[in-house]
Structure formats: structure tokens, C-alpha cells
Amino acid sequence: MKVLVVGSGGREHALVWKLAQSPKVEKVYGAPGNPGIAQVGECIDISPTDIERLANFAEKEGIDLTVVGPEAPLVAGIVDEFEKRGLKVFGPSKEAARLEGSKAFSKEMMKKYGVPTADFEVFDDPEKAKEYIRKKGAPIVVKADGLAAGKGVVVAKSVEEALEAIDKIMIERVFGDAGNKVVVEDCLFGEEASYLVVTDGENFIPLATAQDHKAVFDEDKGPNTGGMGAYSPAPVLSKEMEKEVQEKVIKPILKGMKQEGHPFKGILYAGLMITSDGPKVLEFNVRFGDPEAQVILRRLKTDLVDVCLSVIEGNLVDGLEWIDETAICVVLASKGYPGKYEKGKFISGIEEAENIDNVVVFHAGTAIKDGKFITNGGRVLNVTALGKDIVEARENVYNAVEKIYFEGMHYRKDIGLKALKHSS
């Protein structure tokens, strides 16, 4: 089989790495890919949102399976175009992808089908949004309606901060058309967790639990990022809690999407807050998380090709097998990220890090210059490790991190500590 992975980040490197392990796969392509992906497959210089060129490439090369990494091409309708041409593609349709593409649509669906979430209002008028914020007070959450690369959510601790967020999103339009509308919602308190399932539109199978770390600095301080690290399994999601999430979140939203005429196929990702009243949905995503994919795929034993094809063909696999170890991922970021950052810094030590047992380094924002790896993004590398438990996994991953260097490199030193709290 020939497989195409759409995207260029750490999640896509992890997908390529996993798909390439399948005995069914003879070649993997990444579009546009990255230097890490180039070590496993072939990179094709096509943008993830250039859907027509991607479909043309898949037709011309006889691609047997396309797996879409990021949300933007899904929201833009890549699945619809590929299916129209009779190409096998893993992911939700354009209409189903609105669960991530529009926060307003997502919240309205949750309300309609009884999925527990924070109380909210949707606004397309900045003045009305501000009036509501003044009335509600803080803390309060302001979300750009459309896609904003994981940076369109402001958890405002004061009314002033929330009003500023409205100005930025709706008036200064820092996220462009994503800020045509905003969702303003109550602030939830608790511990976050990521719950992902693979679904054929009716049935679903849970993936291993994971916990992402959004804030840029230790102890969840500083602005939110695309994700600074993750680990799996996440003990905050007990077996009882998982059952509750399946009954109250996954089943109703899948049923709702089917009833609306847009059955959801692919990976459905519920971003949860585990509150004192139980789990509540912060957001839905319509693809693997990044960096959750890196830890989930490190633990997955089942052939990912079989999983993807079972969804496309509507005969979902019976279950998934997992490595009974803890996986952890630490993101190495460029100086200044998630704000402005420099590129072009030489990277050393990747090979040394990967010489450590159970360590794999996924490339997220790298390029090649004079035959050497250089930084080319905010999140540069995803260092992943396995261990018999969270203590060993942390030790392995941070040993590997210490081998790597580039100017201005920063990372969180507390990834996985929340898990220790649950196991003590």
C-alpha cells in the first residue's frame, strides 16, 4: 500500500512513524512533511489546504489511504473532495468537522443533545459581547468561533482582560475571519484531560487516555499554546469516569451528528474539564491531538492502517491493543513561543537522545540547512519516551531532553507530575 499523511508537525511525524510500521505499507508520503518525516517516507511540497493538488497527487500516485493530520484541511472539506474521486481518506466530512471549525456550532450541538459543558452565549457584535461580560464578571472565557491554531481561547481572570480579548478577536481581528463571532462562556475549574475515540459514525472505540499541558510555563502558568507536552495513560480519567464520558459525551454527540445528517467518522477528541460536578466538555476536536497523538501512538500495538480502513469501510475493528507502559512527550520550543520567535537556530543532540532506549524524537518545526537540522517553528521537537510507570517515563524523557540543544530552547520541566498526584 501507498499511504499519504497530510500535515507537517509532530503529530504527522508520529502518524507517519506508526503507519510505516505496518507490514501492509510499502511507502508513506508526507505533504508537505518535515525533515523527520523525510527519514521515514517521502515529502511532497503541497500545502495541507491545497485540496485539489493533494487529490490530484493521490490519484496520480495511486495512494491507497490518506490520513489527515491537522484540522484546517478537514474543515475545508478535504474528505468530501477525496471521497468524490473515489479515494480512501480517514477523517470527518466538512459538515462533521464543524464540531471543531465553529465553536458556536459545537456549543449549540452540545446544548441541543444534552452534553455537559459550560453555560455560554454566542455574539457577532463586540459591544453586546462586552455588555454580557460586564454583567457576568470574571473569571470568564472568550473564544474565537473559528480555527485559530489552538490560540483563540482566552481564560480571562479580570473583566478588563476579557474586554481586551473581544477587541483583539473581533475588532483588531488577530485571527482574521475566525473572529467574526465569539463564544463567551463560564470558566470551569478542575483538571483537564483529553478523551479520544475512533468512530465509524455509529460505533466507537476509545483510544488510550492522555493529558495535554497547554500553558507555556511550569505549573500551568503563562499563555496557552498548541501544547507543551502530554502523557498517557491519564489517571485523572478513572474507568468509572471513562464510562461517564462515553455515556454523557461521546454517545449523545455521535447520535446528534447522525440525526443532523452528518455522521462523524474518524477521530473525535473531547477536551474535558474534570470538575467537582463531573466531566464537562471544553471543546471538541476532529482529529488526533498534538501532542496527545505522540504519546497515544507510542503505546498503540494495533496496526493503524487496519484502524483507519475499518472506519472508512464501516466495519470498525473489534478493539485496540496497547503497550502496558506510560508514554510521555516533552515539547522543545523556540525562544518567544507562543509569541514571536526566531527561526534558523542549529539543533544538536537528536541522535544522542534517540540512542537512549525507548526514546523517539518527533520533528515538529525543523528544516535542513547545510546538511544540519535547524529550527523552523514555535514547537520544534517532541521528545517522547516510554517507561514502566510515570516516574521512569519522566526520567527517560528528561534524560533525552538534556542531550538536545538549540539557542533559546525552552520546555516545561513538570510534564507528568499531575499523574504522580493520582498515584500517590
Residues with Cβ within 8 Å of residue 46, at least 6 apart in sequence: 31, 32, 53, 54, 57
Q: What pLDDT shows up at residue 424?
A: 57
Neighbour-count burial of 45, counting CB atoms closer than 10 A to its CB (0-12 exposed, 13-18 middle, 19+ buried): exposed
CATH number of the domain encompassing residue 357: 3.90.600.10
* Residue 43 included in any domain: yes
Q: What pLDDT shows up at residue 345?
A: 98
Q: Which of 180, 199, 222 delimits the end of a domain?
A: 180
- Does residue 65 share a domain with residue 22? yes
- Does residue 274 share a domain with residue 167? no
E strand or H helix at 61, and its extent?
Answer: helix 51-61
* Residue 146 included in any domain: yes
- Assess contact for 284 and 99: CB atoms under 8 A: yes
- Does residue 196 share a domain with residue 305? yes
CA atoms within a 13 Å half-sphere pointing along the CA-CB vector of 47: 7
The Cα 405–Cα 398 span in angstroms is 13
E strand or H helix at 362, and its extent?
Answer: strand 359-363
CATH number of the domain encompassing residue 197: 3.30.470.20
- Does residue 154 share a domain with residue 234? no
Q: Record the cell numbers describing residue 263, joined without a space.
A: 455522521
Give the structural domain span for 66: 2-91
Q: Which of 91, 110, 133 delimits the end of a domain?
A: 91
* Residue 307 included in any domain: yes
The Cα 411–Cα 218 span in angstroms is 9
pLDDT tens sequence for the chain (424 residues): 999 999 999 999 999 999 999 999 999 999 999 999 999 999 999 999 999 999 999 999 999 999 999 999 999 999 999 999 999 999 999 999 999 999 999 999 999 999 999 999 999 999 999 999 999 999 999 999 999 877 788 999 999 999 999 999 999 999 999 999 999 999 999 988 889 999 999 999 999 999 999 999 999 999 888 899 999 999 989 999 999 999 999 999 999 999 999 999 999 999 999 999 999 999 999 999 999 999 999 999 999 999 999 999 999 999 999 999 999 999 999 999 999 999 999 999 999 999 999 999 999 999 999 999 999 999 999 999 999 999 999 999 999 999 999 999 999 999 999 888 876 5
3-state SS, residue 189? coil
* Residue 281 included in any domain: yes
CATH number of the domain encompassing residue 58: 3.40.50.20
- Does residue 197 share a domain with residue 176? no
- Does residue 154 share a domain with residue 69? no
- Does residue 408 share a domain with residue 300? no
- Does residue 143 share a domain with residue 237? no
Residue whose grid cell is 471513562: 242
- Does residue 252 share a domain with residue 139? no
Residue 362, strand partner residues: 382
- Does residue 393 share a domain with residue 306? no
Alpha-carbon radius of gyration of the chain: 20
* Residue 347 included in any domain: yes
Q: Is the pTM here over 0.85, yes or no?
A: yes
- Does residue 78 share a domain with residue 134? no
What total number of domains does the chain contain? 4
* Residue 110 included in any domain: no
CATH number of the domain encompassing residue 176: 3.30.1490.20
DSSP letters of 299-350?
A: HB-S-HHHHHHHHHTT---S---B-SSEEEEEEEE-TTTTSS-----B-B-H
Q: Which of 266, 282, 312 delimits the end of a domain?
A: 312
Cβ count near 2 (within 10 Å): 17
* Residue 119 included in any domain: no
* Residue 401 included in any domain: yes
Q: Record the cell numbers describing residue 200, joined without a space.
A: 465509524
- Assess contact for 71 and 48: CB atoms under 8 A: no
- Does residue 307 share a domain with residue 331? no
